[in-house]
Amino acid sequence: TCSFSCSPKGFPKLKNDTFLRAARGEETEHTPVWCMRQAGRYLPEFRETRAAQDFFATCRSPKLCCELTLQPLRRFPLDAAIIFSDILVVPQALGMEVVMVPGKGPTFTEPLKEVEDLLKLRQKVDVTAELGYVFQAITLTRHSLEGRVPLIGFSGAPWTLMSYMIEGGGSSTMAKAKSWLYRHPEASHQLLRLLADVITDYLVGQVAAGAQALQLFESHAGHLGPEQFQDFALPYIRDIAQAVKSKLKEEALPLVPMIIFAKDAHYALRDLAHAGYEVVGLDWTIQPQEARAQTGKDVTLQGNLDPCALYAPKEKIGELVKKMLEAFGTQRYIANLGHGLYPDMNPEHVGAFVEAVHAHSRHINKH
């Protein structure tokens, strides 16, 4: 591993670019596969590494993030790595305190309650000062990967982050956050704009640090109806793609493929396909054929096996993967789950999923 002084320019040559080729719509010999939350609690070695550490302290340690990012790749022939981090580092960069409460999950000590609370947020964020630890983790991991597979950087999308900042944690209804959209539309847009600007700088910084693709997680899209999504989510999703690309050009950085994953936003698939992203991620509640029909030929699709399918016996996982590949087609497609891995999943079943994607897609491509 290298010290942080080494320049990001000296990265090892990439040996397996299948994921990047698929993302750009180029032909691939096999369908690439990775899993959301592939670095996670379902791995005993992850639990061991994380045992003594506070969650966000782990996120702030480039060395630990690097180790956790690499763990799944030591076990499975995945086609991409995704940096170990959390979407809530962005609200932290805005000055909010978030703690990880065992059994409850991430919790904001002082969520936004009134419009006036927006004044407490940093209005100008220096992402290198506030989130430099993520950039260091990316650079270190990119070197430590030794070119094995590409490294994906990510961020939460504005509406998803806003909902956490107002709810103060997870919520089944998002009623507090949604009430802002109805009661305080101007203040909501002000907050979403602030978030979009920080996210843009954050994503550009990740590419400068060595990220080779970017995923934007609009995990709470499903709480919005089509109209609210059109008003409060989609414009910022579009803006981020456009702003990131123009800043990458300005700074002579690589134009990396971008993925949008808006969970449960079926009603917006057509719009998402034209939002400026090379890849549209899908959750498991949409039919592959339906998704292709809605998104057209110019984007790559990613997804969308029900994560709970991994509880099935291994042969059954193989059958489900085969069916999924036949439905999506093996090209312009990146295999993934429709959401992240769950902590009680058997790593061997994750391995069976990855191997099935490779085996069946190669077989389909040959015949």
Structural domain total, the chain:
1
Q: Which of 172, 192, 173, 170 is nearest to 181 (CA)?
A: 192
In a domain, 1, yes or no: no
pLDDT in tens, 60-82: 999 999 999 999 999 999 999 99
In a domain, 305, yes or no: yes
Residue 4: is its pLDDT beyond 50?
no
At 2 the pLDDT is: 39
E strands along the chain, which residues? Answer: 81-82, 98-101, 105-108, 151-156, 213-218, 258-262, 279-281, 300-305, 333-337
**Omega before 304 within 30 of 0, i.e. cis:** yes
Tokens 């997870």, located at residue: 170
DSSP state of 340: P
In a domain, 18, yes or no: no
Residue 92: is its pLDDT beyond 90?
yes
Q: pLDDT grade, residue 5 (50/70/90)?
A: very low
Residue 306: is its pLDDT beyond 70?
yes
In a domain, 19, yes or no: no
At 170 the pLDDT is: 94
> Which structure tokens are listed for 143?
């070197």
More confident of the two residues 3 and 201: 201
User: Which of 44-58, 171-185, 212-226 has the lowest average pLDDT?
Assistant: 44-58
* Residues 159 and 218: beta-carbon distance below 8 Å: yes
Average pLDDT over residues 208-218: 98
At 103 the pLDDT is: 86
Please provide residue 33's backbone torsions phi and psi, each rounded to the nearest 5 degrees.
-145, 140
User: In the chain, helix, strand, coil percent, each to 5?
Assistant: 50, 10, 35
* Residues 301 and 293: beta-carbon distance below 8 Å: no
Q: Which of 154, 15, 151, 8 is nearest to 70 (CA)?
A: 151
Query: Which of the residues are catalytic?
Result: 37, 41, 50, 86, 164
In a domain, 277, yes or no: yes
At 6 the pLDDT is: 45
In a domain, 245, yes or no: yes
- pTM of the complete model beyond 0.95: yes
pLDDT in tens, 233-251: 999 999 999 999 999 999 9
In a domain, 126, yes or no: yes
At 9 the pLDDT is: 66
What's the CATH number where 145 sits?
3.20.20.210
Average pLDDT over residues 166-188: 97
- C-alpha span between 48 and 252 (Å, rounded): 40
Average pLDDT over residues 3-20: 78
At 1 the pLDDT is: 40
Q: pLDDT grade, residue 53 (50/70/90)?
A: confident
In a domain, 4, yes or no: no
Residue range of the domain that includes 157 = 24-366
Q: pLDDT grade, residue 125 (50/70/90)?
A: very high
pLDDT in tens, 316-331: 999 999 999 999 999 9
pLDDT in tens, 334-365: 999 999 999 999 999 999 999 999 999 999 99
